[in-house]
Amino acid sequence: MTAVTVCVPVFNAEAFLAETLDSIASQSFADIKVLISLDRSEDDSEAVCRRHLVDPRFELIVQRERLGWVGNVNALIERVDTPYFCITPHDDLLAPQYLAEVHALVASDPAISCAYSDIETFGAIGCARIIQPDIRGVLIERVTDFLLNHYNAVAFRGMVRRRSQDERPYVPTGLRRDFGADAVWMLHLALRGELRRVPSTLYAKRYDTNSVHAAWPNWPRKELVAAWAEQAAICARIALDQVGDPRDREIVLAAALMRVAGVGDAGSFAAPREPIEIAAATAIFCDMLGDVAPLREMQSILALPNAHWLRNAIAKSASPAGSAIDIRSAEQTDVIAAAVEAQKTELAQLRATYASHEEGIVFLRDECAVRDARIAALQAQAKAQADTIAELQRKLRRFSGARRFLPGWLAKRMN
Protein backbone atom coordinates (compact mmCIF):
# COMPACT_ATOMS: atom_id res chain seq x y z
CA MET A 1 0.00 0.00 0.00
CA THR A 2 1.12 3.56 -0.73
CA ALA A 3 2.22 5.32 2.45
CA VAL A 4 1.16 8.96 1.91
CA THR A 5 -1.54 10.86 0.06
CA VAL A 6 -0.75 14.46 -0.84
CA CYS A 7 -4.02 16.38 -1.13
CA VAL A 8 -3.91 19.45 -3.37
CA PRO A 9 -7.05 21.65 -3.35
CA VAL A 10 -7.06 23.93 -6.42
CA PHE A 11 -9.08 27.00 -7.39
CA ASN A 12 -8.12 29.63 -9.98
CA ALA A 13 -4.43 28.81 -9.59
CA GLU A 14 -3.16 28.80 -13.18
CA ALA A 15 -0.41 31.33 -12.45
CA PHE A 16 1.47 29.27 -9.84
CA LEU A 17 -0.02 25.76 -9.81
CA ALA A 18 2.65 24.16 -12.01
CA GLU A 19 5.39 25.24 -9.60
CA THR A 20 3.50 23.67 -6.68
CA LEU A 21 2.88 20.38 -8.48
CA ASP A 22 6.50 20.24 -9.65
CA SER A 23 7.70 20.61 -6.05
CA ILE A 24 5.51 17.67 -5.02
CA ALA A 25 6.67 15.50 -7.92
CA SER A 26 10.30 16.19 -6.98
CA GLN A 27 10.04 14.90 -3.40
CA SER A 28 12.78 12.52 -2.26
CA PHE A 29 10.06 10.49 -0.51
CA ALA A 30 8.47 8.81 -3.53
CA ASP A 31 5.93 6.46 -1.92
CA ILE A 32 3.05 8.87 -2.49
CA LYS A 33 -0.13 9.38 -4.43
CA VAL A 34 -1.20 12.92 -5.31
CA LEU A 35 -4.90 13.75 -5.33
CA ILE A 36 -5.81 17.07 -6.97
CA SER A 37 -9.32 18.43 -6.48
CA LEU A 38 -10.15 21.23 -8.90
CA ASP A 39 -12.94 23.43 -7.57
CA ARG A 40 -14.95 25.12 -10.35
CA SER A 41 -12.42 27.61 -11.72
CA GLU A 42 -12.49 30.42 -14.24
CA ASP A 43 -8.96 30.01 -15.60
CA ASP A 44 -6.87 27.24 -17.17
CA SER A 45 -6.01 25.45 -13.92
CA GLU A 46 -7.42 22.20 -15.32
CA ALA A 47 -4.99 22.26 -18.23
CA VAL A 48 -2.06 22.71 -15.83
CA CYS A 49 -3.29 19.80 -13.73
CA ARG A 50 -3.72 17.51 -16.74
CA ARG A 51 -0.15 18.10 -17.88
CA HIS A 52 1.00 16.50 -14.61
CA LEU A 53 -1.12 13.38 -15.06
CA VAL A 54 1.71 11.82 -17.07
CA ASP A 55 3.06 10.96 -13.61
CA PRO A 56 0.98 7.87 -12.64
CA ARG A 57 1.03 8.96 -8.99
CA PHE A 58 -1.16 11.98 -9.87
CA GLU A 59 -4.96 11.88 -10.04
CA LEU A 60 -7.34 14.74 -10.90
CA ILE A 61 -10.88 15.18 -9.61
CA VAL A 62 -12.87 17.98 -11.29
CA GLN A 63 -15.71 19.26 -9.09
CA ARG A 64 -18.93 20.09 -10.92
CA GLU A 65 -20.15 22.48 -8.23
CA ARG A 66 -18.27 25.21 -6.34
CA LEU A 67 -17.33 23.77 -2.95
CA GLY A 68 -15.29 26.55 -1.37
CA TRP A 69 -11.92 25.91 0.22
CA VAL A 70 -13.19 23.89 3.19
CA GLY A 71 -15.49 21.77 1.05
CA ASN A 72 -12.73 21.16 -1.48
CA VAL A 73 -10.27 20.03 1.21
CA ASN A 74 -12.88 17.72 2.73
CA ALA A 75 -13.64 16.24 -0.68
CA LEU A 76 -9.97 15.23 -0.82
CA ILE A 77 -9.89 13.85 2.73
CA GLU A 78 -12.95 11.75 1.85
CA ARG A 79 -10.86 9.91 -0.78
CA VAL A 80 -7.76 9.29 1.37
CA ASP A 81 -7.04 5.58 1.89
CA THR A 82 -3.38 5.68 2.95
CA PRO A 83 -2.01 5.58 6.53
CA TYR A 84 -0.82 9.20 6.27
CA PHE A 85 -1.88 12.27 4.33
CA CYS A 86 -1.07 15.96 4.07
CA ILE A 87 -2.75 19.03 2.61
CA THR A 88 -0.74 21.21 0.24
CA PRO A 89 -2.59 24.33 -0.98
CA HIS A 90 -2.31 25.11 -4.68
CA ASP A 91 0.24 27.92 -4.32
CA ASP A 92 2.71 26.55 -1.74
CA LEU A 93 6.14 24.99 -2.36
CA LEU A 94 7.83 22.03 -0.69
CA ALA A 95 11.55 21.54 -0.19
CA PRO A 96 12.65 18.21 -1.79
CA GLN A 97 13.05 16.51 1.62
CA TYR A 98 9.86 17.88 3.21
CA LEU A 99 7.71 14.73 2.97
CA ALA A 100 10.61 12.48 3.97
CA GLU A 101 11.33 14.39 7.17
CA VAL A 102 7.77 14.92 8.38
CA HIS A 103 6.93 11.29 7.57
CA ALA A 104 9.94 10.05 9.52
CA LEU A 105 8.84 12.04 12.57
CA VAL A 106 5.12 11.17 12.53
CA ALA A 107 5.85 7.49 11.91
CA SER A 108 8.38 7.33 14.75
CA ASP A 109 5.84 7.49 17.59
CA PRO A 110 2.17 6.41 17.61
CA ALA A 111 1.43 9.21 20.07
CA ILE A 112 2.08 11.75 17.29
CA SER A 113 -1.01 12.86 15.39
CA CYS A 114 0.68 15.31 13.02
CA ALA A 115 4.23 16.37 12.10
CA TYR A 116 5.14 19.61 10.34
CA SER A 117 8.12 21.85 9.63
CA ASP A 118 8.68 25.58 9.97
CA ILE A 119 7.27 27.77 7.22
CA GLU A 120 8.92 30.51 5.19
CA THR A 121 6.54 33.05 3.68
CA PHE A 122 6.88 34.75 0.30
CA GLY A 123 4.70 36.82 -1.95
CA ALA A 124 2.54 39.74 -0.82
CA ILE A 125 3.90 39.98 2.76
CA GLY A 126 7.52 39.29 1.93
CA CYS A 127 9.82 36.82 3.64
CA ALA A 128 9.27 35.71 7.22
CA ARG A 129 9.62 32.51 9.23
CA ILE A 130 6.61 31.03 11.02
CA ILE A 131 7.30 28.58 13.82
CA GLN A 132 4.64 26.60 15.64
CA PRO A 133 5.91 24.96 18.84
CA ASP A 134 5.03 21.37 19.65
CA ILE A 135 1.75 20.52 21.32
CA ARG A 136 2.58 17.66 23.68
CA GLY A 137 1.44 15.94 26.85
CA VAL A 138 -1.77 14.37 28.06
CA LEU A 139 -5.13 15.42 26.66
CA ILE A 140 -5.86 18.32 29.01
CA GLU A 141 -2.35 19.73 28.49
CA ARG A 142 -2.68 19.59 24.70
CA VAL A 143 -6.11 21.20 24.72
CA THR A 144 -5.13 24.00 27.10
CA ASP A 145 -1.90 24.65 25.21
CA PHE A 146 -3.81 24.93 21.92
CA LEU A 147 -6.46 27.28 23.31
CA LEU A 148 -3.94 29.62 24.88
CA ASN A 149 -1.04 29.57 22.46
CA HIS A 150 -2.00 28.51 18.92
CA TYR A 151 -3.74 30.18 16.01
CA ASN A 152 -1.32 30.18 13.02
CA ALA A 153 -2.16 26.92 11.28
CA VAL A 154 1.33 25.67 10.48
CA ALA A 155 0.26 22.11 11.33
CA PHE A 156 -2.54 22.39 8.75
CA ARG A 157 0.16 21.67 6.17
CA GLY A 158 1.71 18.84 8.16
CA MET A 159 1.53 15.09 7.74
CA VAL A 160 -1.43 13.53 9.55
CA ARG A 161 -1.66 9.98 10.87
CA ARG A 162 -4.90 8.05 10.28
CA ARG A 163 -5.48 5.61 13.13
CA SER A 164 -7.89 3.40 11.22
CA GLN A 165 -9.08 2.86 7.68
CA ASP A 166 -12.36 4.60 8.44
CA GLU A 167 -10.89 7.63 10.23
CA ARG A 168 -11.00 10.85 8.23
CA PRO A 169 -10.48 14.03 10.25
CA TYR A 170 -12.47 16.54 8.20
CA VAL A 171 -11.93 20.28 8.37
CA PRO A 172 -14.80 21.69 10.49
CA THR A 173 -17.68 23.49 8.83
CA GLY A 174 -20.15 26.00 10.24
CA LEU A 175 -17.74 28.79 11.15
CA ARG A 176 -18.53 32.32 10.02
CA ARG A 177 -17.39 32.42 6.37
CA ASP A 178 -15.02 29.53 7.27
CA PHE A 179 -12.92 31.91 9.38
CA GLY A 180 -10.03 30.05 11.03
CA ALA A 181 -11.35 26.61 10.08
CA ASP A 182 -7.74 25.47 9.61
CA ALA A 183 -6.92 26.50 13.20
CA VAL A 184 -9.95 24.65 14.59
CA TRP A 185 -8.83 21.61 12.59
CA MET A 186 -5.55 21.73 14.53
CA LEU A 187 -7.57 21.31 17.72
CA HIS A 188 -9.15 18.17 16.27
CA LEU A 189 -5.65 16.85 15.57
CA ALA A 190 -4.47 17.77 19.09
CA LEU A 191 -7.40 15.82 20.56
CA ARG A 192 -6.14 12.77 18.66
CA GLY A 193 -2.49 13.06 19.71
CA GLU A 194 0.60 15.23 19.81
CA LEU A 195 1.54 17.82 17.19
CA ARG A 196 5.30 17.74 16.64
CA ARG A 197 7.66 20.09 14.84
CA VAL A 198 10.57 19.33 12.55
CA PRO A 199 12.90 22.27 13.43
CA SER A 200 13.80 23.12 9.83
CA THR A 201 12.29 25.46 7.25
CA LEU A 202 11.11 22.99 4.60
CA TYR A 203 7.87 24.59 3.50
CA ALA A 204 7.22 27.84 1.62
CA LYS A 205 3.82 29.50 1.91
CA ARG A 206 2.81 31.97 -0.76
CA TYR A 207 0.74 34.97 0.37
CA ASP A 208 -1.54 35.98 -2.48
CA THR A 209 -3.71 39.08 -2.14
CA ASN A 210 -6.59 37.27 -3.89
CA SER A 211 -6.74 34.34 -1.47
CA VAL A 212 -9.57 33.77 1.00
CA HIS A 213 -7.24 34.05 3.98
CA ALA A 214 -5.79 37.34 2.75
CA ALA A 215 -9.24 38.93 2.93
CA TRP A 216 -9.83 38.12 6.60
CA PRO A 217 -7.78 41.00 8.08
CA ASN A 218 -9.79 43.44 5.94
CA TRP A 219 -13.14 42.47 7.43
CA PRO A 220 -14.87 45.12 9.58
CA ARG A 221 -13.60 44.98 13.16
CA LYS A 222 -17.03 44.10 14.51
CA GLU A 223 -17.25 41.03 12.29
CA LEU A 224 -13.65 40.00 13.01
CA VAL A 225 -14.16 40.16 16.77
CA ALA A 226 -17.41 38.22 16.47
CA ALA A 227 -15.71 35.57 14.32
CA TRP A 228 -12.89 35.29 16.86
CA ALA A 229 -15.32 34.83 19.75
CA GLU A 230 -17.41 32.29 17.82
CA GLN A 231 -14.30 30.32 16.91
CA ALA A 232 -13.25 30.18 20.57
CA ALA A 233 -16.72 29.00 21.62
CA ILE A 234 -16.70 26.28 18.96
CA CYS A 235 -13.24 25.18 20.12
CA ALA A 236 -14.50 25.05 23.72
CA ARG A 237 -17.45 22.87 22.73
CA ILE A 238 -15.24 20.52 20.69
CA ALA A 239 -12.80 20.15 23.58
CA LEU A 240 -15.49 19.75 26.25
CA ASP A 241 -16.97 16.87 24.27
CA GLN A 242 -13.68 15.00 24.84
CA VAL A 243 -12.83 16.08 28.40
CA GLY A 244 -14.81 14.35 31.15
CA ASP A 245 -13.17 15.34 34.43
CA PRO A 246 -15.14 18.27 35.98
CA ARG A 247 -11.98 20.08 37.10
CA ASP A 248 -10.37 19.71 33.68
CA ARG A 249 -13.58 20.96 32.04
CA GLU A 250 -13.30 24.13 34.14
CA ILE A 251 -9.71 24.56 32.95
CA VAL A 252 -10.80 24.14 29.31
CA LEU A 253 -13.54 26.74 29.68
CA ALA A 254 -11.22 29.18 31.46
CA ALA A 255 -8.58 28.73 28.73
CA ALA A 256 -11.17 29.34 26.01
CA LEU A 257 -12.38 32.47 27.77
CA MET A 258 -8.79 33.69 28.08
CA ARG A 259 -8.33 32.99 24.35
CA VAL A 260 -11.31 35.24 23.65
CA ALA A 261 -9.77 38.04 25.71
CA GLY A 262 -6.33 37.70 24.10
CA VAL A 263 -4.53 36.27 27.14
CA GLY A 264 -1.72 33.99 25.92
CA ASP A 265 -0.01 33.65 22.55
CA ALA A 266 -3.02 32.59 20.48
CA GLY A 267 -3.99 36.15 19.59
CA SER A 268 -4.30 37.20 15.98
CA PHE A 269 -5.41 40.22 13.97
CA ALA A 270 -8.97 39.21 14.88
CA ALA A 271 -8.49 39.18 18.66
CA PRO A 272 -10.07 42.03 20.68
CA ARG A 273 -7.86 45.09 21.11
CA GLU A 274 -9.93 47.39 23.29
CA PRO A 275 -11.98 46.77 26.46
CA ILE A 276 -15.22 47.30 24.55
CA GLU A 277 -14.17 44.63 22.02
CA ILE A 278 -13.23 42.24 24.83
CA ALA A 279 -16.65 42.78 26.42
CA ALA A 280 -18.44 42.22 23.11
CA ALA A 281 -16.40 39.09 22.33
CA THR A 282 -16.97 37.66 25.81
CA ALA A 283 -20.71 38.24 25.55
CA ILE A 284 -20.81 36.38 22.19
CA PHE A 285 -18.71 33.56 23.65
CA CYS A 286 -20.93 33.18 26.73
CA ASP A 287 -24.10 33.34 24.65
CA MET A 288 -22.91 30.54 22.36
CA LEU A 289 -21.92 28.30 25.26
CA GLY A 290 -24.84 29.02 27.58
CA ASP A 291 -24.68 26.85 30.71
CA VAL A 292 -22.50 24.17 29.15
CA ALA A 293 -19.93 24.44 31.97
CA PRO A 294 -20.34 27.30 34.45
CA LEU A 295 -17.09 28.59 35.91
CA ARG A 296 -16.23 28.62 39.58
CA GLU A 297 -14.26 31.44 41.15
CA MET A 298 -11.20 31.92 38.92
CA GLN A 299 -8.60 31.74 41.65
CA SER A 300 -9.78 28.23 42.57
CA ILE A 301 -9.39 27.13 38.97
CA LEU A 302 -5.87 28.54 38.76
CA ALA A 303 -4.92 26.49 41.81
CA LEU A 304 -5.82 23.18 40.11
CA PRO A 305 -2.84 20.90 39.33
CA ASN A 306 -3.47 20.88 35.56
CA ALA A 307 -3.89 24.65 35.34
CA HIS A 308 -0.20 25.46 34.84
CA TRP A 309 -0.82 26.61 31.24
CA LEU A 310 -3.38 29.10 32.59
CA ARG A 311 -0.96 30.39 35.22
CA ASN A 312 1.85 30.71 32.69
CA ALA A 313 -0.35 32.61 30.24
CA ILE A 314 -1.48 35.08 32.89
CA ALA A 315 2.09 35.55 34.08
CA LYS A 316 3.27 36.24 30.56
CA SER A 317 0.41 38.63 29.90
CA ALA A 318 0.96 40.49 33.16
CA SER A 319 4.73 40.61 32.80
CA PRO A 320 5.97 40.99 29.19
CA ALA A 321 9.57 40.95 30.39
CA GLY A 322 8.98 37.50 31.82
CA SER A 323 9.61 38.35 35.46
CA ALA A 324 8.38 35.81 37.97
CA ILE A 325 5.25 36.69 39.93
CA ASP A 326 3.03 34.81 42.37
CA ILE A 327 -0.03 34.15 40.23
CA ARG A 328 -2.23 33.03 43.08
CA SER A 329 -1.67 36.21 45.04
CA ALA A 330 -1.29 38.69 42.18
CA GLU A 331 -4.02 41.20 41.55
CA GLN A 332 -4.23 39.92 37.95
CA THR A 333 -6.14 36.94 39.30
CA ASP A 334 -8.65 39.21 40.99
CA VAL A 335 -9.07 41.24 37.82
CA ILE A 336 -9.80 38.16 35.73
CA ALA A 337 -12.09 36.71 38.39
CA ALA A 338 -14.02 39.99 38.55
CA ALA A 339 -14.30 40.08 34.75
CA VAL A 340 -15.60 36.53 34.68
CA GLU A 341 -18.17 37.28 37.40
CA ALA A 342 -19.25 40.44 35.57
CA GLN A 343 -19.79 38.51 32.37
CA LYS A 344 -21.72 35.80 34.23
CA THR A 345 -23.92 38.52 35.75
CA GLU A 346 -24.46 40.13 32.36
CA LEU A 347 -25.35 36.76 30.86
CA ALA A 348 -27.84 36.12 33.67
CA GLN A 349 -29.42 39.52 33.02
CA LEU A 350 -29.69 38.77 29.31
CA ARG A 351 -31.33 35.45 30.07
CA ALA A 352 -33.73 37.13 32.53
CA THR A 353 -34.63 39.68 29.86
CA TYR A 354 -35.19 36.90 27.37
CA ALA A 355 -37.32 35.01 29.89
CA SER A 356 -39.43 38.12 30.58
CA HIS A 357 -39.90 38.58 26.85
CA GLU A 358 -40.93 34.96 26.61
CA GLU A 359 -43.46 35.48 29.42
CA GLY A 360 -44.78 38.53 27.59
CA ILE A 361 -45.12 36.55 24.40
CA VAL A 362 -46.99 33.77 26.24
CA PHE A 363 -49.31 36.37 27.86
CA LEU A 364 -50.04 37.99 24.50
CA ARG A 365 -50.61 34.58 22.92
CA ASP A 366 -53.10 33.67 25.69
CA GLU A 367 -54.81 37.07 25.40
CA CYS A 368 -55.13 36.59 21.64
CA ALA A 369 -56.63 33.15 22.23
CA VAL A 370 -59.23 34.64 24.63
CA ARG A 371 -60.10 37.36 22.16
CA ASP A 372 -60.31 34.85 19.33
CA ALA A 373 -62.77 32.82 21.42
CA ARG A 374 -64.84 35.94 22.09
CA ILE A 375 -64.91 36.81 18.42
CA ALA A 376 -65.95 33.25 17.55
CA ALA A 377 -68.79 33.44 20.12
CA LEU A 378 -69.96 36.78 18.74
CA GLN A 379 -69.83 35.41 15.22
CA ALA A 380 -71.93 32.40 16.29
CA GLN A 381 -74.41 34.71 18.03
CA ALA A 382 -74.64 36.94 14.96
CA LYS A 383 -75.28 33.89 12.78
CA ALA A 384 -78.06 32.70 15.09
CA GLN A 385 -79.66 36.13 15.01
CA ALA A 386 -79.39 36.22 11.23
CA ASP A 387 -81.09 32.82 11.04
CA THR A 388 -83.91 34.05 13.32
CA ILE A 389 -84.41 37.15 11.21
CA ALA A 390 -84.52 35.06 8.04
CA GLU A 391 -87.16 32.77 9.56
CA LEU A 392 -89.27 35.76 10.65
CA GLN A 393 -89.00 37.21 7.16
CA ARG A 394 -90.28 33.94 5.65
CA LYS A 395 -93.25 33.90 8.08
CA LEU A 396 -94.00 37.54 7.28
CA ARG A 397 -94.09 36.78 3.56
CA ARG A 398 -96.53 33.92 4.16
CA PHE A 399 -98.77 36.17 6.35
CA SER A 400 -98.77 38.93 3.74
CA GLY A 401 -99.94 36.47 1.10
CA ALA A 402 -102.67 35.22 3.40
CA ARG A 403 -103.95 38.78 3.94
CA ARG A 404 -104.37 39.29 0.19
CA PHE A 405 -106.24 35.96 -0.26
CA LEU A 406 -108.51 36.07 2.82
CA PRO A 407 -111.10 38.80 1.78
CA GLY A 408 -111.99 37.07 -1.50
CA TRP A 409 -112.25 33.71 0.17
CA LEU A 410 -114.67 35.08 2.83
CA ALA A 411 -116.85 36.79 0.20
CA LYS A 412 -117.26 33.55 -1.71
CA ARG A 413 -118.19 31.73 1.47
CA MET A 414 -120.87 34.25 2.36
CA ASN A 415 -122.54 34.02 -1.07
Phi and psi at 128, nearest 5°, equal -150, 160
- Please give the single-letter amino acid code of residue 74: N
Q: Examine the pLDDT at 353 and tell me if it is beyond 60.
A: yes
Query: Residue 399: its pLDDT value, please?
Result: 64
Lowest mean pLDDT among 102-106, 127-131, 178-182, 220-224: 127-131
Phi and psi at 132, nearest 5°, equal -115, 115
Q: Examine the pLDDT at 96 and tell me if it is beyond 70.
A: yes
269-292 burial, b at 16+ Cβ within 10 Å, e below that, comes to ebbbeeeebbbbbbbbbbeebeee
Taking the C-alpha atoms of 344, 335, 234 and 165 in order, what is their torsion angle to the nearest 10 degrees?
A: -130
Q: H/E/C letters for each residue in 213-247?
A: HHHHHHCCHHHHHHHHHHHHHHHHHHHHCCCCCHH
Give 188-220 pLDDT, tens digit per residue: 999 999 999 999 999 999 988 888 888 898 999
Taking the C-alpha atoms of 251, 252, 257 and 262 in order, what is their torsion angle to the nearest 10 degrees?
A: 100
Q: Examine the pLDDT at 350 and tell me if it is beyond 90.
A: no
Query: Residue 316: its pLDDT value, please?
Result: 80
According to DSSP, the β-strands at 93-94 and 129-130 are: unpaired
Three-point CA angle 303, 306, 311, nearest 5° = 55
Query: Residue 331: its pLDDT value, please?
Result: 44
Give 258-297 pLDDT, tens digit per residue: 999 888 888 788 989 888 888 889 889 988 887 665 566 7
